[in-house]
Amino acid sequence: MKRSEINNAIETAKKMMDTYNWTLPKWGYWSKEDYNNNPEMTKYLKDHQMGWDVTDFGKDNFNSQGITLFCIRNGIQSNFDDKPYAEKLLFMQEGQEIPFHSHKIKLEDIINRGGGDLAIEFLEIDNNKQLSKKITVLVDGEKIELDPHEPLILKKGQSVTVERNIFHRFYSVKGSGMVMAGEVSQVNDDNNDNYFLEQVGRFSQIQEDEPPLHPLWNEV
């Protein structure tokens, strides 16, 4: 993935935040130099996996499989004395998807914060790799029954609880525009608690065709 694609994705996300009056913590706007000048804060952010995260899942086709994220707050899964929760913003351009994945530790709510309609598909797979016939999810506390691969459509303000070990993928509904989603969850660990159905890379190999606008959390 090219650095210019990452920079453009971050700029697009920042413009969408402006539209919905979201402002990041001050370090969300830091340059590489700012990180270098604040080593103690930089260590905290890296240890907690907080900050910008742009990935094409190693597919080199960001417009098809890719997402822009910003982790606002987070604990550390191995540290029970740290905070037990996390919060993220997720930005999906129309046509992008996050491939099917699940979490063994993290329980999460996905919220449509603004923009277009957010579609989420679910799969429950047993130890024999068989699909369940029906999946029940909570949409703002209401039980909804879905078939495997049946899209759940979240309008602005709606949210769904994603249970542990349930595979899910999400994307912006065609024709509805870019989505700004939110994630409120137990502690997030992108190094150890993502399980994908297909072989992907969680973090991208970056081609440095221009300087970074803001460093990603995993490279500070």
pLDDT at 129 over 80: no
Largest CA distance in the chain: 54
Give the Cα separation of 153 and 143 in Å (integer).
14
pLDDT at 128 over 80: no
Q: Tell me the fold of 3-219.
A: Jelly Rolls (2.60.120)
pLDDT reported for residue 20 = 95
Domain residue limits, the chain: 3-219
| Neighbour count for residue 84 (Cβ, 10 Å) | 12
pLDDT reported for residue 184 = 98
Model pLDDT for residues 104-117, shown as the tens digit of each residue:
999 999 999 999 99
Sheet of strand 67-73: strand arrangement: 51-55, 67-73, 85-92, 179-186, 108-115, 159-162, 135-139, 142-146
pLDDT reported for residue 102 = 97
Give the Cα separation of 86 and 109 in Å (integer).
11
Contacts of 69 (CB under 8 A, 6+ apart): 52, 53, 54, 88, 89, 90, 91
Model pLDDT for residues 194-215, shown as the tens digit of each residue:
999 999 999 999 999 999 999 9
pLDDT at 3 over 90: yes
Q: What's the distance, Cα to Cα, between the start and end of the chain in Å? A: 18
Judged by phi (left if over 0) then psi (alpha if -120 to 50, else beta), residue 3 lies in alpha
pLDDT at 118 over 90: yes
pLDDT reported for residue 147 = 96
pLDDT at 126 over 90: no
pLDDT at 145 over 90: yes
pLDDT reported for residue 45 = 98
β-pairing, 142-146 vs 135-139, is antiparallel
- Residue 208 three-state SS: coil
Give the Cα separation of 197 and 160 in Å (integer).
21
Model pLDDT for residues 173-197, shown as the tens digit of each residue:
999 999 999 999 999 999 999 999 9
pLDDT reported for residue 133 = 86
